Amino acid sequence: MKKGYSYALDPEELAVRLGFERVARLASNENPWLPSDNVISAGEEALANCNRYPVLGNNRMVGALKDLHGDYTFITSGYGMDGIIDTIVRMIMEKGDKTVISTPAFSMYRITTEAYGGVPISVGRKREDFSVDIQAFIAACQDAKLAFLCSPNNPTGNCTPVDDIIKILESIDCILFLDCAYVEFSDIDYRPLMKEFDNLVIGNTMSKAFALAGMRVGYAFVPEWCEKSYRNAEVPFNMNPVSEAMAVAALNDKTATIRIREHVRAWRKRFMSEVSYRVYPSESNFVLIDVSPYTGDDMAGMLAEKGVVVRSCSSFSGLGDHYIRVNVGEEWECERFIMAINSI
């Protein structure tokens, strides 16, 4: 059996087992807050037409994306960004083709590549600050079909500068999939690169900043040539109308992302200054923490006993076994986490 996705502990099961009224859920980088009432009622209204297939092409969502980002070519997915990764790999990959992955990285790049008979090639990040080894990455791309780079990177939290992405795009022939799941929490903007390069795809999700993880909505900026082949490769009608209606309302809700962004920035700083282990600087809604002399698995286990679910990073290949990843949650969750880890 191939190794699949690692899921977080079930918080409800944990609460029952340990007798906690509530458990701090800091393992999956979700937004701890519900979307606004507008977004919820848009979803409720859309339910009234659930007997119909959705309109082809998700025009309302594409319209809302153009209002927010400008006139780019977009594709949408009702299986989250995971669905986009799946369809892109399916569209491009033939048996034995290589995929280059900047690691440690989100596991879906490898899982999807292997699922379609491709060969994942890892290029390790630099040990000291987890920056991308640009020369090694470019060299590995020479006979590859597709390359994955995540910025801000999950699980390390750091961004790759725009100039480095330009260097990569100028030097490779394959497609670069730039995963921007956490870009709303950073100050970086890769969108203008879409006007200059036709081998760049920028993946986004509404699971994190936009608080719609359970609705499974992803989208991507693609070069124009890619749209038609993508449509041919994808599963039809994959975005349900409830998800689309909520996504449109969330994209139009300008204040919600600002609020979560400020909250995340404030807590990232507090994690850096108050946690008594080494916390890496982050531009996302989570931080990577070196918990030596403990292993990540042991630390995650001890924190769970104290009612805090975090992610052990032992399943991220190329990282080592002594890291955890912790996202910014609600106030009480963050406070409980700091108390708990500092007591260990």
Q: Which among 343, 325, 229, 324 is positioned nearest to 284, based on CA atoms?
A: 325
CB of 7 to ligand PLP, least distance (A): 13
Q: Which among 210, 203, 238, 207 is positioned nearest to 74, based on CA atoms?
A: 203
Toward ligand PLP, which CB reaches closer, 87 or 154? 154
Contact between 327 and ligand PLP per CB under 6 A: no
Toward ligand PLP, which CB reaches closer, 82 or 283? 82
224 token code pair:
């124009």
Calculate the CA 51 to chain-centre distance: 31
Which residues touch 323 (CB under 8 Å, ≥6 apart)? 155, 288, 289, 290, 291, 296, 312, 313, 314, 316
Contact between 162 and ligand PLP per CB under 6 A: no
What is the rounded distance in angstroms from the CA atom of residue 265 to the CA atom of residue 261? 6
Q: Number of residues in contact with ligand PLP, rule: CB under 6 A? A: 13
Which residues make beta-bridge pairs with 102?
A: 123
Strand 218-221 vs strand 286-290: parallel, antiparallel, or unpaired? unpaired
Contact between 184 and ligand PLP per CB under 6 A: no
Toward ligand PLP, which CB reaches closer, 154 or 295? 154
> One symbol per residue from 220 to 239: x for binding ligand PLP (CB under 6 A), - otherwise; what is it?
--------------------
Q: Quickly count helices (H) and strands (E) in the chain.
A: 12, 13
Contact between 150 and ligand PLP per CB under 6 A: yes
Which residues make beta-bridge pairs with 323?
A: 290
CB of 79 to ligand PLP, least distance (A): 7
Strands (E), 206-333: 218-221, 278-279, 286-290, 308-309, 311-312, 323-327
Count of C-beta atoms within a 10 Å radius of residue 258 = 12
Toward ligand PLP, which CB reaches closer, 271 or 316? 316
Residue identified by tokens 């995963």 is: 179
Contact between 213 and ligand PLP per CB under 6 A: yes
> One symbol per residue from 279 to 298: x for binding ligand PLP (CB under 6 A), - otherwise; what is it?
--------------------
Segment 94-113, which members bind ligand PLP (CB under 6 A)? 106
Contact between 244 and ligand PLP per CB under 6 A: no
The interface region with ligand PLP, picked from 14-22, 41-49, 79-87, 248-256 by CB under 6 A, is 79-87
CB of 163 to ligand PLP, least distance (A): 22
Choice from 151, 160, 186, 205 touching ligand PLP (CB under 6 A): 205
- Tell me which residues touch ligand PLP (CB under 6 A): 29, 80-82, 106, 150, 154, 179, 181, 205, 207, 213, 218
